[in-house]
A and B are shown apart, each in its own frame.
Chain A
Amino acid sequence: MNLGPPSRITPQPAPPDDVVITHEDVDRAHDRVRVSAARAQRGAFSKFRLLWLLVGPGILVMLGENDGPSMISYAATGARFGIGFFIPFVILTFCMAIVVQEMTMRLGSATHRGHAELIFDRFGPFWGWFSMIDLGIGNFLTLITEFIAIRAGLGFFGVPPWAAVGSALVFLCLAVMMHRYWTWERTLLAIAVFNLVFVPVALLTHPNWHSVGSALVTWKPLPGGLTQDTLIIVLADIGATVTPWMLFFQQSATVDKGLTRNDIHLGRIDTVVGAALAATAAVATIIATAPLFAHHMTAENFQGAEFAQALQPLIGRFGAALFAIGIVEAGMVASVTISISSAYAFGEVARRPHSLNLPVAQGKAFYSVLFLCAATAGAIVLIPGLPLVYVVLLVNVVAVLAMPPALVFLFMLANDREVMGDLVSPRWANILATGVVVFLTLAGLLFGISVIAPNVFAFLGGK
């Protein structure tokens, strides 16, 4: 048996006779055999193959977080502020996401336990339920916004809302009914790469590259200065990059994929590549909608597809259609990853089987939670008169507010020598993680102050 370096409190392996082997184990073992074979070989091709076999959770979590509400937030950012402060700011938020998500990958690889499971075991049910309530509410609200994005994006092509929501649910069923983590991951990766469709849309707007370069260096301009509206967009853009579901999803997916301590280096590459791809798509979206700012159009009345409609006179029907497809793709992929994040957490806490390698018969609870969350969220979106863009921005703000408590659990677990052994966070990672927690908390507090005492921004030079 491949023991690997032991952590201090994990159980000693039971004798093979006592071990109950499941189909989930068999599927994972097949995946690990391929990883071992690639690792045993030398040469550049084998190294690339090893990387190919091990990437997945990091790219999926980052592109998954470039979800419907995130892309609409970036679109609102470009339309309201143009090319300027928010381009380097969004890149900074993805750097924060790398710091945070690396810890979840390391935790999953070292402990082979999901995030919810570790919180419940190490901190007890009192803190565990707090964490689960945060996750459950956040995931459900975010799921609603994914269906909003799908509905709005397909609306551009004349698809009625009920058909848009129905097709999203069918897509979700097809995505998870592969009963094999590997197949699911590869299929979703192939679809998630379409997030980069915002790059050609940005190119179609013929951006002023000098302005883009200048914004990256100077972090300017920020039209209107610091106002409550600016702050909401700041929080929405942070919430578009770092949210609690990402912590739970990447750790559980790392465990489900079967990554071990030996894979951590490549797991980091997976996370960084994912962040780079997602940041590219995010910046492209801001650039794509910047002409709406230059043409003095506002985003306030736009809903998902209306960004595409507003762009149509500037980039043509093809470009606008690409934009709408990008919004639909973002919502579709995220609806899958977020539903799975909820189902993983439920399975971990309820001690029920929870793996995408499970046949339906053995994972009834896992799949039921997954579909129930998605179907309920989809049904809510069909309620007429929902203020869609407002709901979307608000959900991202709530995600930012829920991050500091979630990050403290992550921070403590990643520094818990009893579960992590020699893989506890190094000092530099702790400094960065503390910086992220302080930054998010201050951003939230600033938002709170802006709501309670809006006049305070007049003293800071805003409107």
Chain B
Amino acid sequence: MPSKDKVPSAITSSDQKLVLSSLEPEQLAGLKKHLIPRRHLSGLEKFVMWSLRIYLLFMIVVVIYQVWASLH
């Protein structure tokens, strides 16, 4: 198990070679800061997402009502 007290500069050239030869580029932590472009949402997709959002909010109100009713 590698030491965890090392600072980033302690990474050796053999570590670098190991990482670059065994990980896919997209697996590198440094490259994950790159944002993936946003997708376009179709009308149907927006409708489904809004419908389920309203469903969830409505059901939460139902749950709160049930809790209130059972406490009284």
Near B by CB (< 8 A), chain A positions 2-45 give 2-4, 7, 9-14, 16, 19-30, 32-33, 36
B72 → chain A, closest Cβ, in Å? 14
* B18 near A30: Cβ-Cβ < 8 Å: yes
* B4 near A405: Cβ-Cβ < 8 Å: no
* A359 near B18: Cβ-Cβ < 8 Å: no
- Mark each residue of chain A from 227 to 260: 1 if its CB lies under 8 Å from any CB of chain B, else 0: 0000000000000000000000000000100101
Contact of B19 among A9, A14, A21, A113 (CB under 8 A): A21
Contact of B25 among A3, A180, A419 (CB under 8 A): A3
List the B side residues contacting A2 at CB < 8 Å: 21-24
Knowing A405-B49, A419-B36, A448-B58 touch, does A19 contact B11 (C-beta < 8 A)? no
List the B side residues contacting A419 at CB < 8 Å: 36
* B45 near A401: Cβ-Cβ < 8 Å: no
List the A side residues contacting B29 at CB < 8 Å: 20, 22, 24-25, 353, 355
* A123 near B39: Cβ-Cβ < 8 Å: yes
- Mark each residue of chain B from 48 to 72: 1 if its CB lies under 8 Å from any CB of chain A, else 0: 1100110110111011011101100
Knowing A21-B28, A179-B4 touch, does A121 contact B22 (C-beta < 8 A)? no
* A121 near B35: Cβ-Cβ < 8 Å: yes
Knowing A9-B37, A26-B18 touch, does A441 contact B55 (C-beta < 8 A)? yes
Asked whether A118 is an interface residue with its Cβ less than 8 Å from the other chain, the reply is: yes
List the A side residues contacting B23 at CB < 8 Å: 2, 25, 28-29, 32, 258
Asked whether A111 is an interface residue with its Cβ less than 8 Å from the other chain, the reply is: yes
Cα A405 to Cα B41 with chains together (Å): 15
- Mark each residue of chain A from 113 to 131: 1 if its CB lies under 8 Å from any CB of chain B, else 0: 1000110011110010010
**Most B-side CB within 10 Å, residue of A2, A180, A260, A452:** A2
Range of interface residues on A (Cβ < 8 Å)? 35 or more
A400 → chain B, closest Cβ, in Å? 9
Q: Total contacts A to B, CB within 8 angstroms?
A: 163
Contact of A1 among B11, B25, B35 (CB under 8 A): B25
* B62 near A448: Cβ-Cβ < 8 Å: yes
List the A side residues contacting B20 at CB < 8 Å: 1, 16, 19, 21
* B22 near A33: Cβ-Cβ < 8 Å: yes
Contact of B1 among A124, A183, A452 (CB under 8 A): A183
Knowing A355-B29, A404-B52, A416-B39 touch, does A29 contact B18 (C-beta < 8 A)? yes
Asked whether B2 is an interface residue with its Cβ less than 8 Å from the other chain, the reply is: yes
List the A side residues contacting B4 at CB < 8 Å: 23, 179, 359-360
Near A by CB (< 8 A), chain B positions 24-47 give 24-39, 41, 45
Knowing A21-B11, A25-B28, A26-B19 touch, does A451 contact B5 (C-beta < 8 A)? no
* B53 near A1: Cβ-Cβ < 8 Å: no
Asked whether A148 is an interface residue with its Cβ less than 8 Å from the other chain, the reply is: no
Q: Which residues of B contact A (CB under 8 A)?
A: 1-2, 4-6, 8, 11, 15-16, 18-39, 41, 45, 48-49, 52-53, 55-56, 58-60, 62-63, 65-67, 69-70
Identify the 5 closest CB pairs spanning chains A and B, nearest first.
A13-B25, A121-B36, A20-B30, A359-B4, A405-B52
